[in-house]
Homo-oligomer: A and B are copies of this chain.
Amino acid sequence: MKPVREEIRAEESLNRVTAEAVYAKYCSPLFNAAAMDGIAVVSERTKGASEAEPMTLRPGEDFVVVDTGDPIRNPYDAVIMAEDLMEQEDGSVRITQAAASWQHVRPIGEDIVAGEMLIPSKHRIRPIDIGVLLAGGITRVEVFKLPTVAIFPTGTEIIEPGQEPEEGDIIESNSRMFEAMVRENGGVPHRFAPIADDYEKLKNSIAEAAKTYDMVIVNAGSSAGTEDFTVHILRELGEVYIHGVAIKPGKPVILAKVNGKPVIGLPGYPVSAYINFENFVIPVLRKMNGETGTAVPVVDAVISRRLVSSLKHREYVRVKVGRVDGKVVASPLARGAGAAMSLVRADGFCVIPQSSEGVEAGEPVKVELYRTMEEIDHTVVAIGSHDLILDVISDLMPDLYPGNYLSSTHVGSMGGLMALRRGEAHLAPTHLLDEETGVYNVSYLKRLFPSPWLW
């Protein structure tokens, strides 16, 4: 798991992580250079020039014409801008002001001094870094090798996307999500074709991959069902460190080592797979990548409704996040391990520690955020009934109001009105029929939002 280094061309190093600090080979500028278009002069010799007594300078003798970036050679030590010259017909120029020594000259090494540290180690290379590396004479840079990751989808019930599914078939999508997650975290994924539940075939495939790749991911087959023999294979091939963790969703994870390589078994439910990937695969990838530290920002929020959790596990509750009346509100979404759409809709996770039995509505929570607070501050929060028009409005927002968003959470009409009353939503779509009067909504609003001047 120690990061491996490789040397690559500086111009191809975008987003790679430096294995060591990089020091400049050359100065920049490499020589005293003109900072303006004009003429190079000897400042000493211009003394005395004034509006009243202009001085005439002769080409070759008193000055040379320079463009920005041209070298300023001995004995010249200053540049007079083209705008400040009066050109004469004979090629000479007149000046009305003396030049200060080193005016409009960029001295050698002004930007970069040879031997100076250009970028530190463990640094993700940005476009500007590529610029200074090359300007400082560095053409190759030592970075951490991108770890290669083999991904094995398994199971007899799975079919490839695009095939017409029959009852009992499950479209294989997790491995494609993993591929993308590996890429996002600086790895190179290789997704293999699905392997049916065949003990020998899976065993050989894993053994082979553990020779070639830096990490192996086996998807599904990590729970305790009849066909779930991944853990047995891994015990046979290497060492299994952990089988099952106290995280929900995400319990059935396998952490093993085969041929010195980490092999990670992930569960089949998409949300469990995603959360386990975040908790167990990404830290390893980042380590292999040479990157340390974590990046997910955490914000303080209040939870919009009661959440009960068990002491048996740490729970990851997907939430929508919005700012209403100055406070940051987290609204829980569906909690099932199969509810992939709740992940698509989420702005982050509210993590309930194993030691907690839950939180009451309005209580403070920590939220691991997947959007910027900037975006969240520009989001209209709708909580209530699921009106499809909200999806359409949300879709139109980027065109109509660039930089603004609509977030809608579906908890039913009454739940929405309650959230509105608690100051946790900007608007609440509602369609509650009063069966006595046959009129929608009004009687409910009168009751929940009593007002002497509205009703």
* A356 at the binding interface (Cβ < 8 Å): no
Complex copy number for this chain? 2
Cross-chain contact of A122 among B10, B135, B227, B398 (Cβ < 8 A): B398
Report Cα–Cα, A178/B130, bound state, in Å.
10
A243 to chain B, nearest CB (A): 16
A window 116-148: CB within 8 A of B: 116-122, 126-135, 137, 139
Give chain A's interface residue range (CB within 8 Å of chain B).
35 or more
Do B394 and A120 have beta carbons less than 8 Å apart? yes
Q: Which residues of B contact A171 (CB under 8 A)?
A: 26, 28, 30, 134-135, 137
Q: A10-B161, A110-B336, A139-B161 are in contact. Are A344 and B118 (CB under 8 A)?
A: yes
Do B183 and A14 have beta carbons less than 8 Å apart? yes
* A187 at the binding interface (Cβ < 8 Å): no
Q: Which residues of B contact A117 (CB under 8 A)?
A: 391, 395
**Interface 9-residue window, one of A51-59, A257-265, A292-300:** A292-300
Q: Which residues of B contact A325 (CB under 8 A)?
A: none
With both beta carbons as reference points, the residue of chain B lying nearest to A138 in the complex is identified as B161
Q: A126-B180, A374-B297, A398-B121 are in contact. Are A167 and B227 (CB under 8 A)?
A: no
Do B128 and A293 have beta carbons less than 8 Å apart? no
Report Cα–Cα, A176/B13, bound state, in Å.
10
**What is A's interface to B at a CB cutoff of 8 Å?**
10-11, 14, 21, 26, 28-31, 35, 37, 65, 67-71, 73, 106, 110-112, 116-122, 126-135, 137, 139, 157, 161-162, 165, 167-174, 176-181, 183-184, 223-227, 268, 270, 274, 292-295, 297-298, 336, 338-341, 343-344, 372-374, 391, 394-395, 398-399, 402-404
14 A-B pairs (CB sep. < 8 Å): A10-B161, A29-B170, A31-B168, A67-B226, A68-B223, A71-B167, A111-B340, A127-B178, A128-B270, A131-B177, A131-B274, A137-B161, A292-B398, A292-B402
